[in-house]
Amino acid sequence: MCAPTYFGVEYVINPWMEGKLGGVSTGTAGAQWHDLHALLTETLGATVTQVPPQPGLPDIVFTANAASVWGGKAVPARFKHPERQGEEPFYRAALENAGYEIHDLPEGIAFEGAGDALFWEGDTEAPLLFAAHGWRTDDAAHGFLSTTFGVEVVSLALTDPRFYHLDTCFCPLPGGFLLWYPPAFDAASQEIIAARVPSAKRLAVSDTDAATFACNAVGVGNHVVMNAATNALRESLASWGFSAHATPLDEFMKAGGSAKCLTLRLL
Ligand code: ARG
């Protein structure tokens, strides 16, 4: 994670940021971030390491975008928008410090890390890597991820500008479960997901839950941490054996991110 010392909405690169320039309360954002951190560490027992925040890089708090990491290897992000490209060296240094072997994408291919590439545990020995293209990541990145990590990559096309990263509309949970929002994907991708993930382990969230970023959730064991959850979603998660923990992150939603975006799972 990365503390929100310099977080704010200083440019517009997704629809959530429109009309929000300068509209973040730094104090509230700091309190919400600390509550998320405390929930993950003190309540749920996760170990969290931190990347130092950087002035002039307000979105560096969204560490999900730093890289895709697996088995000691990291493929660092290559941000689509110049506004975020300055984050790249800081994330790279943090990954190197953490001992990851760095594998750089060929020049000119955009890729936004675990924002657009999520591992899902099916019944095969190696996990599947679901990877998106359409807004921030080029599909040319997908083959590189497959070769580098030695896993099958399932490519998905995102179509709704509000759900511009895969982790805003698709959330693999431990045990092969999945929360997702079908309208964020094209028809072919919806069919691919339905064919890969058994229906008993797949839950399409409502428009209401999608709009409060329920799919932007962090699974820790049988706990799921998210900005907000309707009772219907809590009950569905409970039927799978998960407890939902809501922790308000609306200051970060002004930039188009919430719980999952604020974390990178180190695998
Ligand atoms: N303002 C950031 C952007 O548009 C938000 C990133 C959210 N991160 C995520 N993994 N969805 O890039």
Q: How far is the CA of 259 from the centre of ligand 1 (A)?
A: 11
Relative to the CA of 115, which ligand 1 atom is closest? Answer: 10
> Which DSSP letter does residue 253 get?
H
Tell me, what's the pLDDT at 67? 98
Q: Considering only CA atoms, which residue is closest to atom 8 of ligand 1?
A: 261
User: H helices then E strands: how many in the chain?
Assistant: 8, 12
Q: Where are the domains of the chain?
A: 15-253
Q: Which residues make Cβ contacts (< 8 Å) with residue 187, sequence separation at least 6?
A: none
Alpha-carbon radius of gyration of the chain: 17
Q: What is the rounded distance in angstroms from the CA atom of residue 151 to the CA atom of residue 175?
A: 18
Q: Which residues make Cβ contacts (< 8 Å) with residue 85, sequence separation at least 6?
A: 78, 79
- Which residues sit opposite 153 in a β-bridge? 129
Q: How far is the CA of 255 from the centre of ligand 1 (A)?
A: 7
Q: Considering only CA atoms, which residue is closest to atom 7 of ligand 1?
A: 257
Tell me, what's the pLDDT at 125? 83
Count of alpha carbons within 13 angstroms of residue 147, beta-carbon side: 9
Q: How far is the CA of 256 from the centre of ligand 1 (A)?
A: 6
CB atoms within 10 A of CB 203: 22
Beta strands in the chain (DSSP E): 67-70, 73-76, 101-102, 117-120, 128-133, 153-157, 170-173, 177-180, 202-204, 218-220, 223-226, 243-246
Residue of 9, 33, 36, 65 best suited for mutating to test ligand 1, as the one with most atoms within 8 Å of CB? 65
CB 32 within 8 A of CB 225: no
- Which residues sit opposite 81 in a β-bridge? none
Q: What is the rounded distance in angstroms from the CA atom of residue 48 to the CA atom of residue 35?
A: 13
> Using a 6 Å cutoff on CB, does residue 136 contact ligand 1?
no
CB 78 within 8 A of CB 88: yes
Q: How far is the CA of 8 from the centre of ligand 1 (A)?
A: 12
Return the SS3 of 234.
helix
Active site residues: 165, 261
Tell me, what's the pLDDT at 180? 98
Tell me, what's the pLDDT at 126? 85
Q: What is the rounded distance in angstroms from the CA atom of residue 9 to the CA atom of residue 52?
A: 19
Q: Spelled out in words, what is the top-level CATH class assigned to the domain 15-253? A: alpha beta
Tell me, what's the pLDDT at 170? 98
Tell me, what's the pLDDT at 122? 86
Relative to the CA of 14, which ligand 1 atom is closest? Answer: 4
Q: What is the rounded distance in angstroms from the CA atom of residue 40 to the CA atom of residue 46?
A: 5
- Sites in the chain below the pLDDT cut of 50: none
Residue of 261, 262, 263 best suited for mutating to test ligand 1, as the one with most atoms within 8 Å of CB? 261
Closest by alpha carbon to 218, among 226, 210, 229, 227?
226
